[in-house]
Chain A
Amino acid sequence: MKQENFTPSSRSRLPEILIREQSSLLADWIESLSASAGGRTGSRSRQQLHEDARTFVTALARGVQDGSLQDLKSSEWSRMHEFLTELSRSRAEEGTSPTETATFLFSFKRPLFGLLKKELAGEPEALAEELWHATALIDGLGLQTTEIFQRSREEIIRRQQQELMDLSTPVVKLWKDILALPLIGTLDSSRTQVVMQNLLEAIVAHSATIAIIDITGVPTVDTLVAQHLLKTVAAARLMGADCIISGIRPQIAQTIIHLGVDLADVTTKATLADAFQLALRRTGGPLPASTASSKQLA
């Protein structure tokens, strides 16, 4: 060990110290975490926090043993990278802020600096240098958690958007045998496919005989949208359900005619309420007691 004192300054003594003292470092860290955690543990339990600390110290010792302090993204640091990824992802899902996660890692500086001061008590220059190495190391790892956090955040948002997209076009059961699909927004092809698929599945699930497709909320009906509608009507018919398309505004009716799209075989109604009344008549269900109740549906 003594020999290490004479190595050139570019060769840090930090790795050796970290590996040798990992259990005392962990003990100090857990103690300071417990002391400062009073009420601020967030959604992460104390036990989880200690587990995180343990895994971090082990991965750190492994990293400095095999890898370099300069390149934290090299394969020797893969174990640390895995840990940070898991930490950031689970914390992102718990709703913990990236600052909190980074702060957790930064809190390791306290026991680490304390140890370095003790180890290098008589060597102020070496101490200054190793403190610098230690800071760069922990800051670098903290930064990685922020990057990973951002990526997992984006993943979560994408997933939520997908779910929202599916949710935003719910198939509503209006009455026994009668389903309604209020379409809202741009019917670009990927979304349209999902929406139409949902409708067909719901027809089977509810053994519906009439499906009302309401396009009040669709800003533009071009030939692609019309084609999707026609395909859906045909598929529904094969499954034993008739479709009524409602919510065709006057300007949309005109453009459909100019486009030359043939909707002659499709039943259309001005409003969802009109379509519902027609559907009730066809299925032999009771008519809504008053127009007020049917207006609410529109």
Chain B
Amino acid sequence: MPATKRGSLSIRSQDDVVGVRQAVRRAAVDIGLNLIDQTKIVTAASELARNAFVYGRGGEVLIEDLQESGRRGLRLSFEDHGPGIPDIQKAMTDGYTSGTGLGLGLGGAKRLSDEFQIFSEEGAGTRVVITRWKS
């Protein structure tokens, strides 16, 4: 699948989370996502960027344009080198948080995306990749 790198941003502060939202919003508008899909991917990105910042000790996001049989999409890959997630299934469970959140970020990001993949290794870090296709 042809993917074009649009940019990557580091996530080291609360302000960076805001920056990720803005960059994703720009990319979403650029490839022609409608307002609802823009809002969905921006919100999912906000959740994953904050997780990388809060739980992953900071990380980065890669933003890519996708093109597949005339269809356009946006792929976001969040990566950190934090402690990793010991039990992914538990982390994905709605309402579970090891911190003080609502525990809805991972599950919410999955429901807001067309495709969702999560990889994590204890002590090595976490990688979450989401895709939103233009409908």
Q: Which residues of A contact B (CB under 8 A)?
A: 186, 188-190, 219-224, 226-227, 250-252, 254-255, 258-261
Contacts and interface: CB of A to CB of B under 8 A. Distances in A.
Contacts of A254: 36, 39-40
A259 B108 contact: yes
Interface in B33-63: 35-36, 38-40, 42-43, 46-47, 50
A226 B42 contact: no
B102 interface: yes
A186 B15 CA distance: 10
A241 B25 CA distance: 36
Contacts of A252: 39
Contacts of A251: 35-36, 38-40
A258 B132 CA distance: 14
Given A251-B39, A254-B40, A258-B40, A220 B102 contact: no
A258 B111 contact: yes
B107 interface: yes
B39 A260 contact: no
A191 to B, nearest CB: 10
Contact of A220 (B21, B107, B108): B21
A252 B112 CA distance: 12
Nearest to B15: A188
Contact of A260 (B18, B38, B104): B104
Contacts, number: 65
B105 interface: yes
Interface of B: 14-15, 17-18, 21, 25, 35-36, 38-40, 42-43, 46-47, 50, 94, 101-102, 104-105, 107-108, 111-112
Nearest to B37: A251
15 contacts: A186-B18, A188-B15, A220-B43, A223-B47, A223-B101, A223-B105, A223-B108, A224-B46, A224-B50, A227-B101, A251-B38, A254-B40, A255-B39, A259-B47, A260-B94
Given A250-B36, A254-B36, A254-B39, A223 B102 contact: yes
A261 B102 contact: yes
Given A221-B43, A227-B101, A251-B39, 18 more contacts: A188-B15, A189-B14, A190-B14, A220-B21, A220-B42, A220-B43, A222-B47, A222-B50, A222-B108, A223-B108, A224-B101, A226-B102, A227-B102, A250-B36, A255-B40, A255-B112, A258-B108, A258-B112
A222 B14 contact: no
B82 to A, nearest CB: 18
Contacts of B39: 220, 251-252, 254-255
Contacts of A222: 43, 46-47, 50, 105, 108
A188 B18 contact: yes
A252 B43 CA distance: 9
Contacts of B38: 251
Contacts of B105: 222-223
Contacts of A224: 46, 50, 101
Nearest to B21: A220
Contacts of B42: 220
